[in-house]
Amino acid sequence: MALCAALALAFVSAASEARGEADSALFAYDDYYAVALPADDTVWVVGGWGRALRSGDGGETWELRSVLDEPRALLDASFGDARRGWIVGEGGLALRTEDGGLSWYRQKTPTEYNLLAVEAVDAERAWAVGDRGVIVRTRDGGRTWLDESLDRDAILNDVAFTDDQRGWIVGEFGTVLRTRDGGSSWEEDVEIKGAPEDVYLFGAVFEGELGFATGLAGTLLRSQDGGRAWQALTSGTLHHLFSVALAGGESLAVGDQASILRMDSGGSPAPVATPNSLSGWLRAVAFRGATGFAVGSKGQVLRSRDAGASWQDVSPLGRIAATDAGEPEP
């Protein structure tokens, strides 16, 4: 699994290669790792070199926000409401905002391993997962983070909750954890059909009992019973699929070679056309209603306003205004 571990860490290492270069030279090479949509028309994108960008008009214009005084990779973001949320990243980093991103402050976590994903259950409660089986949680807005890590070395790539009781964690070695009691206990008695037991998983999403998970070499799994049993679907690609989201009864998966797959409720995947200028990878996708964003390498940001049927390039390159202050929209 050395190759899989290298792939999971590639995003972090890429963010460290050119830290000595001037900011003006970095924009063309910025890699974005996550996108969050805390309110209508409000978009946050985070990535390498401590990059955080905000749009208050649905991606028409962008501002470069100062959230960190050092160039660590920011690997995920999640908001509990329009004003309160978290960014996590390299070296156990956790940042918190309580004013819609006007200011961010660092919180102490019980790990120095990379935190690869965070899920805000609400404005006060959140879970984060990452390297070496790390699982941390907070119930008090991040004033304290509790260590609930696994007792084994497995990279955990994503965490998802649909309410305060039901959640899932996925990662390498076919790891699928699920809870129905708010994380008091986690179950691993899952069945995966049509894929290797040690399948490498990158992302997961649920709505009710219906869930999808994505992974290495075009892996696409569907569950219809809340994550107890999984069936592999024919994705039609060998590209790695890094992230998955739900929109208007459809599921969208993004991955390597700027690939986007769209699936109906029956799980029949079909590729979606993207702007011809795209290359590299798409690391994350998120939707709020029918409007969604996908982000990835080389500063790529795409927007869809029709539940993923079509996509427009709204990459911020050349349209970023650096700012450390300025009241964000609620």
What domains lie within the chain, and their CATH numbers? 2-18+28-323 (2.130.10.10)
Distance (Å, rounded) from C-alpha 38 to C-alpha 78?
8
Task: Give the number of other CB atoms < 10 A from CB of residue 327.
Answer: 8
Nearest to 172 by CA among 162, 158, 185, 151: 158
Nearest to 182 by CA among 261, 236, 126, 142: 126
Distance (Å, rounded) from C-alpha 245 to C-alpha 251?
6
Q: Residue 3: what pLDDT?
A: 47
Note whether 271 and 311 are within 8 A (CB): no
Query: What is the mean pLDDT, run by run of 10 residues, along the chain of 330 residues?
Result: 49 46 52 97 96 95 92 97 98 98 97 98 98 98 98 96 97 96 94 93 96 96 95 94 93 95 82 83 97 95 96 85 46
Distance (Å, rounded) from C-alpha 221 to C-alpha 201?
9
Q: Residue 268: what pLDDT?
A: 80
Residue 55 main-chain phi, psi, to 5 deg: -120, 135
Phi-psi region of 257 (alpha: psi -120 to 50; beta: other; left: phi over 0): left
Residue 182 main-chain phi, psi, to 5 deg: 70, 20
Distance (Å, rounded) from C-alpha 57 to C-alpha 275?
21
Residues 6 or more apart whose Cβ sits within 8 Å of residue 290: 247, 248, 304, 305, 306, 307
Q: How many CA atoms lie within 13 A of 253 on its CB side?
A: 36
Q: How many CA atoms lie within 13 A of 292 on its CB side?
A: 28
Residues 6 or more apart whose Cβ sits within 8 Å of residue 156: 116, 117, 129, 130, 131, 133, 134, 135, 150, 169, 170, 171, 175
Q: What is the pTM of this model?
A: 0.90
DSSP for residue 187: B
Distance (Å, rounded) from C-alpha 54 to C-alpha 77?
12
